[in-house]
């Protein structure tokens, strides 16, 4: 059996009832966390303006609002909202965000077909699994942003699970979705090109489109997955990585959650900084300079004067400075007002970021950083971390993830309603139809 047939048979045939309890529990956490990120992002003016233009009515909810749309448009809008604040979960092994590429399409399609809770959760877990494995198997070109690439496969697999696809149809969906990825630019995140925030949403949209194309008789290459991700957007593709421990090692169980409202590459430095400030509160005015040593991807985020909020989320100097001045790395520390705050900009100019090749060599299992703060009086304070808080090696407690969810969801929903929706997600697996979850979201936004 070739690898793609094995993957397709697994994706189509794995029974929802056989999903391990720990994978079910993790999938529910990922779903709840993603809903929070979507609602939080839906409060942003650009996202609201796009939704007003594109939501033309239909069976699928634009989460955080009372608007509805056809499933493909809802997936686009919800995926865009969920990316906006840089608070969506991710997976360090595939170097991307499978949850936000899977859940918007899965939810939109599940609402349209009236899927049950267990089937919906399995569609998320398996869509996440297959897309993440493509990310692990390939090595995207360094100039590419991972959003909007293999994420279309996450969405397509989840939708096909909910559509009841057999292995033959699932394989065809994989081959079609492989060709529906974007030519994404890494510069968008560094320069604050907010077009980047729609990449995950487009993957969701393409996942739904794949189902319509299949129904209309379209087909893909014989092995579009290996060709596109081994020769077009990447020069290598490890087919063995697609099937290694398939069904026993679940990528949802190796994910990470974010509490810092910025790019993951900042997190090691912010975690080390938190160690320093926990022992000694710092007066920003007393800081002479801050030295950050980390891995190559983090060292790339070195702009001390980002042009907009997105660029600020991809700047180690700004992230360090706004965290020190505001005593928080949450959403409120990454705003337009903070971008022009003289105290933050002055401190960001004192932050240097350097690559430590030994730290780069520890990727992807580790995400190390060392932070040294030098005070004007000559005092030197230093701390280091090997991994990021919130990942599989140092996880956040479920209560911390719930608190983060509430902080984001209450940007648009009353707290009581947001808490009720969290509880509904945690009890979703026995639900006969997920429509009750959608109904709670509609009432919360009314």
Is residue 158 located within the same domain as residue 73? Answer: yes
147: its two tokens: 């959003």
Is residue 39 located within the same domain as residue 150? Answer: yes
Helix (H, G, I), strand (E, B) or coil at 441: helix
Helical (H) or strand (E) element with 254? none
Residues 6+ apart with CB under 8 A from 357: 296
pLDDT of residue 333: 97
Name residue, tokens 């009086």.
377
Is residue 298 located within the same domain as residue 325? Answer: yes
Is residue 417 located within the same domain as residue 436? Answer: yes
Is residue 364 located within the same domain as residue 413? Answer: no
Q: Is residue 391 part of a domain?
A: no
Domains held by the chain: number: 2
445: its two tokens: 């936004």
Is residue 126 located within the same domain as residue 271? Answer: no
| Residue 115 CA: distances (Å) to CA of 98, 123, 315 | 21, 10, 41
Tell me the angle at which helices 167-178 and 199-216 cross, rounded to the nearest 10 degrees. Answer: 130
Residues 6+ apart with CB under 8 A from 240: 3
Residue range of the domain that includes 282: 264-385
Domain termination residue (choose one: 385, 406, 428): 385
Is residue 207 located within the same domain as residue 297? Answer: no
Is residue 285 located within the same domain as residue 314? Answer: yes
Among residues 385, 360, 382, 211, the alpha carbon closest in space to that of 299 is found at: 360
Is residue 297 located within the same domain as residue 208? Answer: no
**Which CATH number belongs to the domain containing residue 431 in this structure?**
1.10.4100.10
* Exposure string for 235-264, b = 16+ CB within 10 A, e = fewer: eebbbebbbeebeeebbbebbbbbbbbbbb
Averages of pLDDT over each 10 residues, the chain, 446 residues: 96 97 97 98 98 96 97 98 97 96 98 96 98 98 96 98 98 98 95 97 98 98 97 97 98 97 95 95 96 96 95 96 97 96 97 97 93 97 95 92 98 98 96 93 97
Q: Is residue 390 part of a domain?
A: no
pLDDT of residue 443: 97
pLDDT of residue 336: 94
**Which CATH number belongs to the domain containing residue 298 in this structure?**
3.30.1330.120
Identify whether 364 is preceded by a cis peptide bond (ω within 30 of 0). yes
Is residue 45 located within the same domain as residue 149? Answer: yes
């Amino acid at each position: 059996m070739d690898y793609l047939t094995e993957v397709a048979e697994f994706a189509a045939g794995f029974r929802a009832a056989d999903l391990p309890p720990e994978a079910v529990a993790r999938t529910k956490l990922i779903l709840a966390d993603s809903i929070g990120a979507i609602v939080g992002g839906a409060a942003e003016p650009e996202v609201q303006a796009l939704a007003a233009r594109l939501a033309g009515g239909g069976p699928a909810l634009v989460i955080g609002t009372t608007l509805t749309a056809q499933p493909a448009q809802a997936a686009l809008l919800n995926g865009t909202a969920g990316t906006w604040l840089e608070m969506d979960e991710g997976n360090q092994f595939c170097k991307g965000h499978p949850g936000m590429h899977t859940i918007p399409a899965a939810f939109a399609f599940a609402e349209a077909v009236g899927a049950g809770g267990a089937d919906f959760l399995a569609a998320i877990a398996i869509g996440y699994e297959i897309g993440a494995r493509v990310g692990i198997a390939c090595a995207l070109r360094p100039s590419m942003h991972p959003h909007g690439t293999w994420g279309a496969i996450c969405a397509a697999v989840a939708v096909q699970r909910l559509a009841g696809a057999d292995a033959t149809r699932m394989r065809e969906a994989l081959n079609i979705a492989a060709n529906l990825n974007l030519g994404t630019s890494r510069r968008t995140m560094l320069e604050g090109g907010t077009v980047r925030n729609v990449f995950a949403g487009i993957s969701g949209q393409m996942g739904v489109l794949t189902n319509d194309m299949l129904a209309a008789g379209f087909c893909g290459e014989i092995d579009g997955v290996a060709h596109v991700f081994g020769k077009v957007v990447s020069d290598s593709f490890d087919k063995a990585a697609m099937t290694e421990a398939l069904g026993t090692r679940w990528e949802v169980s190796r994910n990470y959650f974010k509490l810092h409202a910025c790019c993951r590459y900042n997190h090691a430095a912010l975690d080390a900084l938190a160690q320093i400030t926990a022992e000694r509160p710092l007066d920003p005015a007393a800081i002479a300079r801050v030295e950050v040593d980390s891995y190559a991807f983090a060292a790339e985020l070195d702009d001390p004067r980002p042009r907009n909020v997105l660029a600020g989320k991809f700047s180690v100097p700004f992230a360090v400075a706004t965290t020190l001045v505001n005593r928080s790395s949450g959403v409120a520390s990454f705003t337009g007002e903070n971008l022009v705050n003289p105290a933050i900009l002055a401190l960001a100019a004192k932050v240097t970021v350097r690559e430590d090749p030994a730290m780069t060599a520890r990727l992807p299992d580790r995400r190390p950083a060392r932070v040294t703060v030098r005070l004007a009086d000559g005092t030197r304070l230093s701390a280091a971390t090997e991994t990021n808080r919130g990942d599989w090696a140092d996880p956040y407690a479920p209560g911390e993830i719930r608190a983060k969810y509430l902080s984001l969801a209450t940007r648009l929903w009353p707290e009581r309603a947001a808490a009720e929706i969290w509880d509904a997600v945690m009890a979703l697996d026995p639900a006969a139809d997920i429509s009750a979850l959608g109904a709670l979201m509609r009432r919360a936004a009314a």
